[in-house]
A and B are shown apart, each in its own frame.
Chain A
Amino acid sequence: MKNRLKVLRAERDWTQAQLASALGVSRQTINAIEKGKFDPSLPLAFKAARLFEMSIEDIFQDEV
């Protein structure tokens, strides 16, 4: 699954630690999601969508 987490974070000038803070996960998890190595659960994806005030599809895209 592709995602725009890194771009969205950079646009807001947030660090991985700050984003991890807001989502209640570890910085390593944010790093893995940004690199596409770990796909977040639906609750975490919703949390990210709420934080960025976007829809889930605007942040995460299926790689088919």
Chain B
Amino acid sequence: MNKPEQSTTNEYIERNCKNTRYLKYWSAAWVVSMAITLFAPMFVWDFNTLLTIIGVIVNLAIGFGMLLANRVYLRGLDEMQQRIMFDAMGLTLGVGLVVGLSYEMLEDIKLISFQPEIGHLVIVMCLTYLGGIISGRRKYQ
């Protein structure tokens, strides 16, 4: 029996690299558009309503593009990598829900004096997702 060709792996790796690159570009564009949407009304166009609405629409459109790029990326992974991502996303959803609601409740029951920020929850979810991926990779190592 002949040795299998390397071409499929190269195709798999190339496809993954391409999908990762697209996801990276879309994510970067989304972050930039988010910054523009947030800061430009204050520092560039003095809260001009039309420009601000355009900024929000562009930000949402790029965000949707990022979601599609993420979908393509996930579908391009092999079944074990998809399982790792699936587990990490499940964990993130659970932690986000539990921590988010508890965090919001802390102010209501006067355990914290500041207003809970959505950004804090996003950080917790990002760290959980990262931890989930690392733990999944170690599990299947």
Contacts and interface: CB of A to CB of B under 8 A. Distances in A.
Interface stretch (B8-16, B25-33, B90-98): B8-16
Interface of A, secondary structure class, is: helix
A37 B4 contact: no
Interface of B: 1, 3-13, 78-81, 83, 137, 139-141
Contacts of B5: 21-22
B83 A38 contact: yes
Those 4 A-B pairs whose CB atoms lie nearest each other, nearest first: A22-B4, A21-B9, A25-B78, A32-B140
Contacts of B10: 21
Interface in A1-39: 12-14, 17-29, 31-33, 37-38
Contacts of A51: 4
Given A26-B80, A53-B1, A37 B11 contact: no
Contacts of A53: 1
